[in-house]
A = this chain, B = another copy of it.
Amino acid sequence: MVTPRKPPLTPDASGFNVYARECPARMVLDRIGDKWALLVLDRLRHDAARFNAIRRDIGGISQKVLSQVLKNLERDGLVLRTVHATVPVAVTYSLTPLGETLTQAAASLIHWAESHMAQIQHAQRLYDDRLAATSL
């Protein structure tokens, strides 16, 4: 056991607890609970891809950030970096078996955002209108 969980949630058999600020699991959550990392993980879900392909597919990600995200994911053992000895050098990124156990959860989050946008936008309008009304 590393740290006790404060909320009355089901205790985790592993002993790790994301609710504790010092727990290593929190560090991992920091990385995977990130917009860019989730998108990269989802992008690699069905097929491996080269650096610039990922960069093109994920609108708005900079080369610097993609580079950092990939390196972190590789260090955590979620992404495999493969260098092909061609000229010029080609590098492909793919999911490791460990990474594949995560992408479904990542995809769920992403898909949720897309499929519930209508309801979210409706809620936002209600909230904004109500706010404007009270501030008159």
Contact = CB atoms under 8 A, between A and B. Distances in A.
Interface string A11-42: 01110111111101110111011110011001
A127 B77 CA distance: 8
A83 interface: no
A114 B6 contact: no
Contacts of A126: 77
Quick one: which of A22, A39, A114 has the most chain B CB within 10 A? A114
A122 interface: yes
A interface majority secondary structure: helix
A38 B33 contact: yes
A113 B77 contact: no
Interface of A: 6-9, 12-14, 16-22, 24-26, 28-30, 32-35, 38-39, 42-43, 45-47, 56-60, 74-78, 98, 101-102, 104-106, 108-124, 126-128
Query: Which has the most chain B C-beta neighbours within 10 Å: A16, A60, A104?
Result: A16
A7 B110 contact: no
A117 B19 contact: no
Given A21-B60, A101-B116, A29 B109 contact: yes
Contact of A112 (B101, B110, B121): B101
